């Protein structure tokens, strides 16, 4: 099974799994819940597991690696051209395998837990800064309605108080 490639289309509850040999022969197609998928990975002999890069893909790649598999992520725009028929989870899982077999395919490296934590903090801070700017602009606009004009900039906040 070392030449096995498993493509996984991740979802909230049900994962679509497509297994094929490196030559392209279909070995299996499965629909698994999160719990079933975890035990499926544990029982699967070591192979290449490929996920479409999405919200939980780094987590599942780390899980697969901890169970002795090689795990890779593919950006969604590289998978899309390989969807043969109507877009659904099963077709996506198959397209992931076909894309992974391409010799020139570019893979995305999974994020570590530390990288994901730092990204979450950064996005949270970015959101707070954006909200603060929106609130200051709204406050300045309200003052302007009453004929009071303040220059743009956070350093002008103290002038608004007095």
Q: Are residues 29 and 97 in the same domain?
A: yes
In order, the DSSP letters of 8-68 are EE--SSEEEEEEEETT--EEEEEEEEHHHHHHHHHHSPS-EEEEESSTTHHHHHHHHHHTT
Handedness of CA 5, 71, 103, 2 (dihedral sign): negative
Over residues 103-138, the pLDDT tens digits come to: 899 998 899 999 999 999 999 999 999 999 999 999
Over residues 13-71, the pLDDT tens digits come to: 899 999 998 788 888 999 999 999 999 999 999 999 999 998 899 999 999 999 999 99
Residues 6+ apart with CB under 8 A from 4: 19, 20, 21, 22, 27, 45, 47, 48
Q: Are residues 28 and 92 in the same domain?
A: yes
Q: Are residues 118 and 46 in the same domain?
A: no
Structural domains counted in the chain: 2
Q: Residue 63 maps to which CATH number?
A: 3.30.420.10
Residue 126, token pair as written in the block:
């970015």
State residue 75's pLDDT score.
92
Q: Are residues 101 and 85 in the same domain?
A: yes
Q: Are residues 104 and 127 in the same domain?
A: no
User: What is the extent of the structural domain holding 36?
Assistant: 4-111
Q: Please tell me the pTM assigned to this model.
A: 0.77
């Amino acid at each position: 099974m070392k030449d096995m490639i498993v493509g996984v289309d991740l979802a909230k509850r049900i994962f679509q799994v497509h297994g094929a040999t490196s030559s392209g022969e279909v070995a299996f197609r499965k629909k698994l819940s999160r719990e079933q998928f975890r035990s499926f990975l544990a029982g699967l002999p070591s192979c290449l597991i490929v996920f479409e890069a999405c919200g939980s893909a780094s987590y599942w790649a780390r899980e697969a690696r901890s169970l002795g598999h090689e795990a890779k992520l593919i950006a969604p725009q590289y998978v899309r051209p390989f969807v043969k028929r109507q877009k659904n989870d099963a077709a996506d899982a198959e397209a992931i395998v076909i894309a992974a077999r391409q010799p020139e395919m570019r893979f995305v490296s999974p994020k570590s837990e530390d990288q994901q934590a730092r990204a979450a903090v950064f996005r949270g801070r970015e959101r707070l800064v954006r909200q603060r700017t929106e609130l200051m602009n709204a406050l300045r606009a309200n003052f302007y309605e009453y004929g009071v004009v303040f220059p743009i900039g956070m350093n002008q906040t103290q002038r608004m108080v007095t």
